[in-house]
């Protein structure tokens, strides 16, 4: 098993321009901006706080003719679209295989076009070994076992809000969910290389996605939490938060859902999402900064880890049964990403300023190693396994 960190040497300056809901009288759309407190000036922007309306039409496909699959070798299955050529996962250098806790990376790869956006979920690894990475208006698919690029999915590039803002694999690795800047969620069968359907309802960017068997939960950066049953497609539950949702993850047991928002709230939700928009979390735990980096412990289903933002930097372990902080430790830096190991009682954190490093912790929160990071923040991270 190796610890893999994907990064970029070519960043897109992100200034999100969001079309908000039209007023009931049909007034023209408005546009809003909000500075990003988790990012140094002149970089990311995060969307304004608020509540987006729900105009549910879950199985329509208004953009189906604007997306296509492209093979890594250049051959493409195209549906009335065009795209720029991206060459992600080019290996820059290799190191001899080592234990995952060793400080030196085993591979360094170029990821041109990766957004340096603290609030989005742009990287995920599926149960079949494929890594999905959002790069602008496309998603690159890389096989962590063979270390080869398998292909890429390209969205409608002519739209001003076509950027991919979140990706998430179903637990069996058969379906990839893609959230976009205009509130659409696309479902792809990667093995067959076809788009299954589009799910609609969000009218703002889908910043977080997570699966619980056939239930797909999505959070928007304007505070709407939606649950869709992918066997049938309809909306089966929803909730509204005051601020944007930037972290979202179902527990391994499927009994709890954790959401993190830009106003620093960690919310724990029951397994039954309910059907009314008045649904409430079972517990709400405040934090000093935005709750984006979060993750459930694989061997203790009620335990969740949360990483603090730029002005906090604390790593906290919570018991969600009692809302008690079991362990905490200062990291003295922004925690941008967080992953538990499934093979050892270890936890990895990816950091921003001041050192952009990666830290390995043994449970409960004893630091093992700190590895030097790249020149930029470690905003996205997954585990990859190869021989």
Distance, CA of 323 to CA of 268 (rounded, Å): 10
Distance, CA of 89 to CA of 175 (rounded, Å): 22
Distance, CA of 55 to CA of 59 (rounded, Å): 12
Distance, CA of 76 to CA of 71 (rounded, Å): 5
- Omega cis (within 30) before 254: no
Q: What is the pLDDT of residue 289?
A: 95
Nearest Cα neighbor of 70 from 124, 143, 150 is: 150
List of residues 6+ apart from 33 with CB closer than 8 A: 15, 16, 17, 45, 48
Distance, CA of 185 to CA of 355 (rounded, Å): 35
Specify which residues 267 forms β-bridges with.
259, 284
Record the tokens describing residue 128, joined without a space: 């079949």
Helix%, strand%, coil% for the chain, nearest 5: 0, 45, 55
Q: What is the pLDDT of residue 142?
A: 86
Nearest Cα neighbor of 298 from 256, 345, 334, 332 is: 345
Question: What is the fold, at CATH topology level, of the domain defined by 2-17+37-384?
Answer: Methylamine Dehydrogenase; Chain H (2.130.10)
Record the tokens describing residue 82, joined without a space: 């065009």
Q: What is the pLDDT of residue 360?
A: 87
Nearest Cα neighbor of 281 from 294, 301, 305, 265 is: 265
Rg (CA), the chain: 19
Mean predicted lDDT score pLDDT of the chain:
75
Q: What is the pLDDT of residue 62?
A: 40
Max Cα separation, the chain? Answer: 64
Residue with tokens 């952009």: 356
Cα 226 versus chain centre, distance: 15
Write down the domain spans for the chain.
2-17+37-384
Reduced to 3 states, what is the DSSP secondary structure of residue 65? helix
Distance, CA of 204 to CA of 44 (rounded, Å): 17
Reduced to 3 states, what is the DSSP secondary structure of residue 135? strand
Q: pTM surpassing 0.85?
A: no
Q: What is the pLDDT of residue 77?
A: 38
Spans of the chain below 50 pLDDT: 1-35, 42-64, 74-84, 86, 100-102, 385-387
Q: What is the pLDDT of residue 52?
A: 38
Q: What is the pLDDT of residue 106?
A: 64
């Amino acid at each position: 098993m190796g610890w893999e960190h994907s990064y970029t040497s070519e960043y897109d300056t992100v200034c999100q321009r969001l079309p908000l809901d039209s007023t009931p009288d049909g007034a023209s759309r408005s546009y809003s901006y909000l500075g990003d407190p988790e990012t140094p000036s002149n970089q990311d922007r995060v969307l304004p706080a608020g509540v987006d309306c729900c105009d549910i039409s879950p199985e329509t496909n208004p953009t189906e003719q604007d997306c296509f699959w492209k093979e890594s070798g250049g051959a493409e299955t195209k549906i009335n679209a065009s795209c720029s050529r991206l060459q992600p996962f080019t290996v820059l250098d290799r190191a001899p295989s080592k234990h995952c806790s060793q400080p030196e990376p085993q591979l360094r790869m170029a990821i041109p076009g990766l957004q340096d956006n603290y609030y989005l979920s742009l990287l995920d690894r599926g149960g079949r070994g494929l890594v999905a990475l959002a790069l602008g208006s496309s998603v690159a698919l890389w096989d962590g076992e063979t270390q080869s690029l398998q292909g890429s999915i390209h969205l409608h590039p002519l739209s001003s809000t076509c950027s991919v803002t979140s990706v998430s694999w179903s637990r069996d690795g058969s379906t990839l969910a893609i959230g976009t800047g205009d509130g659409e969620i696309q479902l792809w069968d990667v093995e067959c290389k076809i788009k299954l359907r589009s799910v609609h309802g969000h009218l703002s960017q889908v910043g977080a996605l997570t699966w619980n068997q056939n239930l797909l939960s999505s959070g928007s950066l304007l505070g709407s939490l939606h649950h869709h049953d992918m066997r049938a497609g309809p909306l089966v539950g929803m909730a509204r938060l005051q601020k944007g949702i930037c972290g979202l993850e179902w527990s391994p047991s499927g009994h709890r859902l954790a959401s993190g928002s830009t106003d620093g709230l960690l919310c724990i939700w029951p397994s039954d999402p309910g059907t009314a928009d008045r649904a409430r979390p079972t517990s709400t735990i405040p934090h000093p900064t935005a709750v984006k980096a979060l993750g459930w412990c694989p061997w203790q289903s009620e335990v969740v880890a949360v990483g603090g933002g730029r002005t906090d930097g604390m790593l906290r372990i919570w018991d969600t049964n009692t809302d008690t902080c079991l362990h905490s430790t200062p990291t003295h830096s922004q925690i941008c990403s967080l992953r538990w190991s499934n093979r050892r009682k270890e936890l990895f954190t990816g950091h921003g300023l001041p050192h952009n490093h990666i830290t390995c912790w043994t449970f409960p929160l004893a630091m093992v190693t700190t590895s030097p990071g790249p020149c930029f923040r470690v905003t996205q991270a997954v585990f990859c396994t190869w021989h």
